[in-house]
Each structure stands twice: as structure tokens, then as C-alpha cells.
Amino acid sequence: MKHWQEACSLFERLAELHRAGRSAALATVVHIAGSAYRRPGARMLIEADGRMSGGVSGGCLEADVREVALAALEHNTPRLLHYDTGDDDQVVWGLGLGCNGTTEILVQPLPPGAEAQPLQAVRELLGGDRSFAVATMIDGGAAGRILVRGPDGSWIGSSGEAGLDRAIDAALTEQLEHGGSRLREAGGARIFAELFSPPPHLILCGAGDDSVPLARLAADAGFRLAVVDHRPAYLTAERFPRARLHRARPEEGVKELPLGPHTMVLLKMHSLAQDRGWLENFLATDVRYLGILGPRDRTDRMLDELGAKQQERIYGPVGLDLGAEGPEQVALSIVAELLAVWSGGSCRSLREKGAPIHS
């Protein structure tokens, strides 16, 4: 889910640079094997003056990728980089990091006007709420070209060969059906086939002071955030700069809010009547997660008063058992639970997993 939000930011910045007549290079992780900090689709934007945004690793590869990207910009030539992060710092392209993995990164120089239509299509689709797929050519004279398959089957961009375009279209259709992003072959050419899936909506009912660090952390994690409250003094853009704000009471209903299985909800009004009212509204929807701040008895009482039964999607008390104290730590425990529920994570320590981190 971080993939979508990070791409939004980077592609918007790239558009700003192009409107100003400035170039930039886009570095994208296209393949990993073994241990790697970022997954395929992670990106970094390198501007012509050397400024960087985004990231392709935990900080160990960025400096080298930056130098390669600046050279690629100078010569207007894409590069495919291969990094071996094992123990042996004598390995060609190796950094001796001891991470026991390999990472391949495509560096695309993008001067103003390059790939204008596909890049515009990506930006527009990232402003929507449906999955779409992108293919980036890896090899040959077409390396760096971008092809986009929209959720309605629309097609933007070209490899330059009609037969290859059909093969790529079939590959992207399959990517939309089965998910994931990976390096693959289509029509005899190597492409990076990438699926963009919109991140979940998070509706936060309650704009009190303890919601400020929670909203900040949730937005950083990639959730599309809406904050709901009836108190204008609390519900301000200064307090929640990355959220859509909805001034409402429970009796006004939830029609204006993003609902469905792609939505998660947190109730933390610090008012039994308000929380009960919002709970009644959301129980009538198919939102995926209902988190309720406060002790278990309080949640049970509200359910009893509403004549409702406990459900698997109801998390009350909300959050993971981290021994949290104070708004910031409570926010961390709640967002950690949201991520675990959304991704199907186990919440156990990674040292107990016995398999690669991202398996």
C-alpha cells in the first residue's frame, strides 16, 4: 500500500519538474532475490541537481544509484543495475553489506516530454480508486518505455511493435488478475510488469488531540485518511494536513464516506453515545475492520445496547499488545494492527518466521 502513495508523490514531483523544463531520472526496483529492504516497485526520483526523493533500499544503495542516475541523465541512456548485497565485498557490483540478497534497479532518464502520455495516465490513475498495471521495457532500443493498461482495458503507450504490444497487453491483463509486480518476459522482450492496487481507506472518527499522532502515522504508512468529527475547533487542516475532513454527527449517517471492504474504521470519540452512534452506522456496512478505543467491556456494552453480536471484524480494545503508554505509542500499536490485518501478517517477531521477510 505504501507503493501507491509513494508513486503519487514521485510522479507529481516529476510533473512539476517537467512543467519547469527540468529533467529527472527515475530509479525503480524491478527484481529482488533473497533478502531486500524494498520490494519490486519501490522508486527513487533523482533530480538533475542531485536532490533525491523516495528510496530503493534502506539507505545502503541510494548514493550509488544517484551517481549512476546523474550519468544516465547526462547521456540520456537507461541503465539496469545489479547489486549483490552478500558478505563478499570483492564481488562485482557487491557492497559487502551482509544482507544475502540481490537487487536489480532500472534507472530511466526522463527529460521533459519523454513518455508524456503514459506518465500523465499514471498520474491520473493514481488519483482514482481502481487497480491498473504498468509495463516498463527493460532491454534494447525500447528500454525505459512505459505502457499503461487502465482498469477499463484502455491502453496508453507503445513498445514500437504491434505484436509486442499485444504480448505486453496480455501480460498486464494477467498481472491485474493475479497481482504482484515482477520482472517477466512478453513476446521475447523483458518487461517490468507492475500492479498498482489502491491502498485502503481509513476513517478515523474522533479528532481529539490523541488522534493527531495517529493520523500522522497512518498517513505515513500509506492509508488514505478521512477524519470525522462534529467539532470544528478540532477538525482543522492544520491538525490533519493529509486527511479529508468530514464535519458530521452519527445521526447524519455515513453516505459521504468511502465505504466497502477496502475501508477500515477507528472509533475514538471518547464519548460512549458518539461511539455507539458511529458503530451502529458502520455495522450496517461491509467495511473490513472496526476498531474501537477503550476496554473490552465498553465495546461489549455498546454491542449489547445495539442488539448486535461480536464479529470477527470488530477489534475492541483496538491495537496490538505492545505495552503502549501515551498517544504516540498507542498510535503505533493501532497502526501496527491495521497493517497486520490488512496484509494478513502474523504479528509475531520476524526472528520466529523461519523464512525470507517478504515471503
At 3-16, the pLDDT tens digits run 899 999 999 999 99
Residue 212 CA to residue 331 CA, distance in Å, equals: 9
Written as nine digits, the cell of 205 is 472518527
Model confidence at 357: pLDDT above 80: no
Model confidence at 194: pLDDT above 50: yes
Please give the average per-residue pLDDT across 324-352, as a whole number: 90
Q: Give the position of cell 491520473.
A: 124
Residue 346: the pLDDT is: 82
Q: How confident is the model at residue 38 (pLDDT cuts 50, 70, 90)?
A: confident
Written as nine digits, the cell of 141 is 532500443
Residue 91: the pLDDT is: 43
Please give the average per-residue pLDDT across 177-203, as a whole number: 91
Q: Give the position of cell 516530454.
A: 113
CB atoms within 10 A of CB 298: 16
Residue 88: the pLDDT is: 52
Model confidence at 359: pLDDT above 70: no
* Residue 94 DSSP code: B
* Residue 239 DSSP code: T
Spatial CA neighbour of 342 closest among 220, 198, 204: 198
108-135 residues labelled b (16+ CB within 10 A) or e (exposed):
bbbbeebbeebbebbeebbeeeebbbbb
Residue 164 CA to residue 306 CA, distance in Å, equals: 59
Please give the average per-residue pLDDT across 221-233, as a whole number: 96
Q: How confident is the model at residue 358 (pLDDT cuts 50, 70, 90)?
A: low
Burial class (CB within 10 angstroms; exposed 0-12, middle 13-18, buried 19+) of 308? middle
Please give the average per-residue pLDDT across 284-307, as a whole number: 96
First CA to last CA distance, the chain: 16
Sign of the CA dihedral with 314 first, then 318, 319, and 322 last:
negative
Model confidence at 320: pLDDT above 70: yes
Domains located in the chain, CATH noted: 1-114 (no CATH), 115-198 (no CATH), 201-343 (3.40.50.720)
190-206 residues labelled b (16+ CB within 10 A) or e (exposed):
bbbbbbbbbbbbbbbbb
Burial class (CB within 10 angstroms; exposed 0-12, middle 13-18, buried 19+) of 310? exposed
Mean pLDDT, rounded, of the chain: 91
Q: Do the Cβ atoms of 256 and 198 come closer than 8 Å?
A: no
Residue 256 CA to residue 245 CA, distance in Å, equals: 11
Least reliable range by pLDDT among 88-97, 119-128, 280-289: 88-97
* Residue 153 DSSP code: S
Beta carbons within 8 Å of 98's beta carbon, 6+ residues apart: 85, 86, 87
Q: Over the stretch 247-283, which tens digit does the pLDDT of each residue have? A: 999 999 998 899 999 999 999 999 999 999 999 999 9
Residue 222: the pLDDT is: 92
Q: Over the stretch 84-117, which tens digit does the pLDDT of each residue have? A: 866 554 443 445 454 567 899 999 999 999 899 9
Model confidence at 354: pLDDT above 80: no
